[in-house]
A and B are shown apart, each in its own frame.
Chain A
Amino acid sequence: MSAGDNSRQNSFVLLQIGRRRFALPAGAVAELAPPVKLHRFPHTTGSVAGVIVRRRRILPVYDASSLLIEDAPSGQQIYLVARCAGAAKELSAIPVSGECEMATGEVQPPNGDRPAYVAGTLRIGEESVDVLDLAALVGSAPSTAAGAIRTEAQP
């Protein structure tokens, strides 16, 4: 493994979702996209809020905030576009606040009681930040029950 590979493995993007910060491996992140229009249509997948069109691609938008935090974030959000590590490996977007930064560090294994989508813990100064496993996160969302379909297009 080269020094560059090693450096990339220890690089993370810190993202703000609501009042909490989380980390994603930098290698999984493609870009930060501006707050483009979120397109909604009826579906039953609980973790997906809709789609955005970015660089001539239609990307699913995961509703990460509903999975990670209790209070829905307010204010304008941008999209962090990342490659999901699951079987699909497709580019996906997560709404985040505009406050993203890079960080490097060693990931410590998660405590036993942490959810499956926490791949580890990154120490940033005094702060301990959960490193997200995006595939596990989106896989942890239950499908929407019949009769509670995610729908209603925006005006």
Chain B
Amino acid sequence: MNASANSGEHSHAARRGKPEPVILFWVASQMFAIAAESVQEIRSTDSLGGAANEIDQEAVPKVRHVLEWSRRSCYVVNAGAHFGLRVTRPTLVLILRGMRVAVLVDRIDRMTEIPAVYPLPQAFAGAERRWYRGLTYIDDSVIPVVAPTGFLSSEEFAALDRAIKPPVAPQHDMHGTAQT
């Protein structure tokens, strides 16, 4: 569905396709949708325990932790900071499938099916073109459908990888340092 995200106009009829399961979630006062298939797990932040380690870095302020989960390291993106929303206290983390990204959100609304994802109008020319796959229309509301790949750019991944990289030639045990 993402392939034609740059087409000019978007009638419902033109975009009808196979219904797609999505998870609707809230960050601050904004609802978002994400494809259900792109979410591997949803966890309470309280349940993560010692799996999350704080990262000391300033390059990517929306990431404060790295999560060791299922034998991989996921950078934890605060969705509120990512989308520029007001600061909240996220209670859930979405661990994305096949990616080194987990996303802090406030709460899950529900899982549902959407009939289509409509391209973001070309009038939107900023970072939102990376953030969203498009828009959908549910219950008289237009909801942005987030792009799982839009939470961290390759440059941000590189900056974070540098931040957690162990120092050169350590003389002591670096147990606990995350792999990339």
Q: Which residues of A contact B (CB under 8 A)?
A: 37, 39, 41-45, 47-48, 51, 53, 56-60, 62, 84, 87-92, 138, 143-144, 146-149, 151-153, 155
- Contact yes or no, B84 A39, CB < 8 A: no
Question: Are B123 and A92 neighbours in the complex by a CB distance under 8 Å?
Answer: yes
CB within 8 Å: A-B pair count? 93
Of chain A, the residue at the smallest CB distance from B125 is A45
Closest to A141 in B: B125
B142 on interface, CB distance cutoff 8 Å: yes
- Surface stretch bound by A, among B10-18, B35-43, B105-113, B153-161: B10-18
- Does the CB pair A89–B30 fall under 8 Å? no
Q: Are A56 and B29 in contact (CB under 8 A)?
A: no
- Report the bound CA distance from A37 to B137 in whole Å: 13
A59 to chain B, nearest CB (A): 7
Q: Does B44 touch A at the CB level, under 8 Å?
A: no
Q: Which 7 A-B pairs have the closest CB atoms?
A: A149-B84, A44-B126, A60-B123, A88-B122, A39-B142, A43-B128, A42-B83
Q: Is the CB of A151 within 8 A of B13?
A: no
Chain A contact residues: helix, strand, loop or mixed: loop
CA distance A88 to B8 in the complex (A): 6
* Assembly CA distance A90 to B119 (angstroms): 12
Q: Could you say which residues of chain A place their CB within 8 Å of the CB of B46?
A: none
Checking B85, B123, B124 against A151 with a beta-carbon cut-off of 8 angstroms, the contacting residue is B85
CB distance from A48 to the nearest CB of B (A): 5
- A149-B83 contact given A51-B142, A53-B142, A58-B118, CB 8 Å threshold: yes
- A48 vs B143: C-alpha distance when bound (angstroms): 16
Number of interface residues of B (CB under 8 A): 31
What is the distance, in angstroms, from B87's C-beta to the closest C-beta of chain A?
A: 12
Q: In the complex, how many angstroms separate the beta carbon of B159 from the nearest chain A beta carbon?
A: 15
Cβ distance A137 to chain B, nearest Cβ, rounded Å: 12
In the complex formed, the residue of B with least CB distance to A62 is: B123
Determine the chain A residues whose CB is within 8 A of the CB of B29 once the complex forms.
Answer: 152-153, 155
Asked if residues A60 and B124 are in contact (CB atoms below 8 Å), the reply is yes
Whether B121 contacts A60 by the Cβ 8 Å rule is yes
Instruction: Check B9 for interface membership: any CB of A closer than 8 A.
Output: yes
**Are B8 and A89 in contact, with the CB atoms below 8 A?**
yes
B14 to chain A, nearest CB (A): 9
Cβ contact within 8 Å between A39 and B141: yes
Which residues on the B side are within 8 Å of A41 (C-beta)? 30, 135, 142-144
Asked if residues B142 and A48 are in contact (CB atoms below 8 Å), the reply is no
B124 & A56 in contact (Cβ 8 Å cutoff): no
**Chain A residues near B163 (CB-CB < 8 A):** none
Q: Which residue of A lies closest to B82 (CB)?
A: A42
Query: Quick check: B135 and A143 within 8 Å, CB to CB?
Result: no
* Chain A: minimal CB distance from B1 (Å): 14
**CB-CB contacts below 8 Å: B33-63 with A:** none
B126 touches A90 (CB 8 A): no
The answer on a CB contact under 8 Å between A44 and B142 is: no
- Interchain CB contact under 8 A, A84 and B123: yes
A/B interface sample: 17 pairs, CB < 8 A = A42-B84, A42-B131, A42-B144, A43-B126, A44-B84, A45-B124, A45-B125, A48-B123, A51-B135, A58-B137, A60-B123, A89-B8, A90-B9, A90-B123, A138-B123, A143-B125, A152-B85
